[in-house]
Structure 1
Amino acid sequence: MPLPFTRRDALKLALSTALVASSAFTLAPAWADSDYPNKPIRLVVPYPPGGGTDALARVLSAKLAESWKVPVVVENKTGASGMLGNDQVAKAAPDGYTVLVGITALIQGPALFSKVPYDPIKDFVPLTAIARSADLLLVPADFPANTAQEFIALVKANPKKYSIGNYGNGTSSHIHAAMLNSQAKLDLNHVPYRGAGPLLTDLLGGQVHSAFVDSSSAQPHLSGGKLKVLAVSGARSSPLAPKAPTLTSLGYHSYEPYGWFGLFAPAATPPATAKKLSEEFVRLIKLPDVQERLQGMGLQPGGNPMDEFAREVKADKDVWAKVITEAQIRLD
Structure 2
Amino acid sequence: MAITPHKNLAQWLPLIALAAACGMPAAQAEDNYPSKPIRLIVPYPAGGGTDIIARLIGTQLTQRWGQSVVVENKPGASGILGNDIAAKAPGDGYTMLLGITTVAQIPALYKKVPYKLSDLTPVSQIAKSADLLMVPRSSGITTLQQFVDQAKASPGKFNYGSYGNATSSHMNGERFKQKAGIDLTHIPYQGSGPEMVALLGGQVTLALVDATAAYPHITSNKLNILAVTGAQRHPALPQVPTMTESGFPGLEANGWFAMFLPGTTPKPIVDKVGAEVAAIVKSPELNKRLTEMGLIPVGSLPDEFKTQLGKDVTHWKTVAESAKISMD
**TM class, shorter-length:** 0.7 to 0.9
What 5-or-longer segments of structure 1 have no aligned partner?
Answer: 1-8, 194-198
Matched, 1:130 2:126: yes
> Which residue identity is paired with 2:162?
G
> Which residue identity is paired with 1:266?
P
Query: How many angstroms apart in 2 are the aligned matches of 1:105 and 1:160?
Result: 31
280 and 157 in structure 1: CA distance in 2 versus 1, 3 angstrom threshold: same
Alpha-carbon distance, 1:137 to partner: 2.5
Q: Deviations over 1:121-160 (max 9, x none)?
A: x212111111222221245x68746544566547984847
> Which residue identity is paired with 1:284?
I
**Residues 159 and 187, structure 2, Cα contact 8 Å, conserved in 1:** no
Query: How many angstroms apart in 1 are the aligned matches of 2:71 and 2:93?
Result: 15
Q: Match of 1:101?
A: 98
Alpha-carbon distance, 1:230 to partner: 3.5
* Number of equivalenced pairs: 314
Match for 1:247 among 213, 238, 243? Answer: 243
Match for 1:278 among 274, 279, 291? Answer: 274
Q: Match of 2:4?
A: none
Question: Which range is displaced more, 181-190 or 281-290?
Answer: 181-190
**Residues 176 and 255, structure 1, Cα contact 8 Å, conserved in 2:** yes
Q: Match of 2:87?
A: 90
**Residues 99 and 266, structure 1, Cα contact 8 Å, conserved in 2:** yes
17 and 287 in structure 1: CA distance in 2 versus 1, 3 angstrom threshold: same
**Residues 52 and 217, structure 1, Cα contact 8 Å, conserved in 2:** no
Query: How many angstroms apart in 1 are the aligned matches of 2:232 and 2:13?
Result: 66
Q: What percentage of aligned pairs have identical amino acids?
A: 39
119 and 170 in structure 1: CA distance in 2 versus 1, 3 angstrom threshold: farther
Question: Which range is displaced more, 261-270 or 231-240?
Answer: 231-240
What does residue range 76-225 of structure 1 map to in structure 2 within 5 Å? Answer: 76-120=73-117, 122-138=118-134, 144=139, 146-147=141-142, 148=144, 153=150, 157=154, 159=156, 162=159, 164-167=161-164, 169-184=165-180, 185-191=182-188, 193=190, 199-206=191-198, 209=204, 211-222=207-218
Question: Which range is displaced more, 200-209 or 62-71?
Answer: 200-209
49 and 231 in structure 1: CA distance in 2 versus 1, 3 angstrom threshold: farther
Q: TM-score, normalised by structure 2?
A: 0.80
Query: How many angstroms apart in 2 are the aligned matches of 1:138 and 1:103?
Result: 23
**Residues 137 and 221, structure 2, Cα contact 8 Å, conserved in 1:** no
Q: Match of 1:263?
A: 259
Match for 2:233 among 227, 230, 237? Answer: 237
154 and 260 in structure 1: CA distance in 2 versus 1, 3 angstrom threshold: same
212 and 267 in structure 1: CA distance in 2 versus 1, 3 angstrom threshold: same
Query: How many angstroms apart in 1 are the aligned matches of 2:299 and 2:157?
Result: 43
Query: How many angstroms apart in 1 are the aligned matches of 2:196 and 2:318?
Result: 33
Query: How many angstroms apart in 2 are the aligned matches of 1:44 and 1:160?
Result: 43
Q: TM-score, normalised by structure 1?
A: 0.79
**Residues 130 and 261, structure 1, Cα contact 8 Å, conserved in 2:** yes
- Aligned Cα root-mean-square deviation (Å): 3.3
> Which residue identity is paired with 2:116?
D
> Which residue identity is paired with 1:203?
E
Alpha-carbon distance, 1:163 to partner: 5.3
Alpha-carbon distance, 1:192 to partner: 5.5
SS of alignment partner, residue 50 of structure 2: helix
What 5-or-longer segments of structure 2 have no aligned partner?
Answer: 1-6
Q: Deviations over 1:5-43 (max 9, x none)?
A: xxxx9xx78x55543432222112112223322333222
